[in-house]
Each structure stands twice: as C-alpha cells, then as structure tokens.
Amino acid sequence: MKSERFPYSKQQFMVNLLLLLMLIIILPLVLLSIQGVDFLLLAGMIGLVIVLIIVFSISPILTAHQLSNHEIVLKQGIYFKANIPLECIKSVRRIDSGPRRTGIWFKIFEKVLYVTTRRYDLVEIQLRSDQRFGWALWKTADRVVFDTLDNARFLHAMEERGITPSSPALRS
C-alpha cells in the first residue's frame, strides 16, 4: 500500500490569512501617520507580518496528515509534525464531539494531545504507551485526537493496515 494523504479543514487558516493580510495593509498606514517613524521599523514590521502569514496561514493550507504502512504523520503547517508508528497504536476510534478549542494544544494534567481544526467528528488514537511529542513542547501523551475531512476513509485505511476501529458502528 502506498502512503495516503488525509487533508483537514482549512477554514480557520483562511481566516488567519485574511486577518494577517488586513494587518499588512493597515500597519503601514498607521505607522506612516505617526511623525518620525523610521522606515526600517516599518519594513521590519511588514517583514514580521509576512513571516506570520507564511508560517500560520499558508503552510497549514499546503499540508495534510499522512498514513503510510509504518506510521501516521500528523502535520499542521511547518510548525507541527508528529510521527506515530503503527505498532504503537492500541486502538483507533471515531468520536462525535471534542473539546471547544481547536488547534494544537493539551491540558497540562491529562495525557491527551489535540491536533484539531474542528470540534466535531474527530478521530482518537489510543497509544500502547506514553509517547513524547517534541513539536508540542515535549508533551507526553497516551491519546491523540485529530480530524480529517474524510474520517471514514482514514479508518478504512487503518483497517487495511491491521488496526481495527474500536467499534464498527463508529466507522460510518
């Protein structure tokens, strides 16, 4: 089997892109209205906003999660990547609803890592043992919750690789 891509929702990143593009228009106007503003400061601020646009808006639009014969690679732009070997997965299941918050985050006292772009129709992976995630501040987790645009296809692909979803009713 070849490696498969599983895109996630890009809506929140499009909103980020729109807001940062508005900032790149408004920032020079505000700074130029202030007397004696250094051109280097203005150029530096615009450069910073351009870097933010690339990292937090454009790069997540261009990436997707991947599933190979050996591992799942969860990606969100150039700022997050998690490799989960398939042999480390205890179970996988579909969950109807998740936390109110989206993005890459975790609760300090729980061993769950969230890599979500929506609050509903998520996938939860239970790991056989704790795993550290360097791109998430070295968080240790035994569960990972994430989403794809086609969770049914993802679960089917996992089943093809020998990992059966916890409940067949949750696949559809």
The pTM is what? 0.83
What is the dihedral angle through the alpha carbons of 76, 154, 132, 70, rounded to the nearest 10 degrees? Answer: -110
The 3-state DSSP class for residue 35 equals coil
Residues 55 and 72 grouped into a single domain:
no
72: Cα within 13 Å, side-chain hemisphere: 27
Residues 126 and 53 grouped into a single domain:
no
The boundaries of the domain holding residue 45 are 4-62
Residues 83 and 146 grouped into a single domain:
yes
pLDDT in tens, 39-74: 888 889 889 989 989 998 899 999 999 999 999 999
Residues 54 and 138 grouped into a single domain:
no
Residues 8 and 76 grouped into a single domain:
no
The answer to whether residues 79 and 112 touch, using CB atoms and an 8 Å cutoff, is no
Residues 96 and 152 grouped into a single domain:
yes
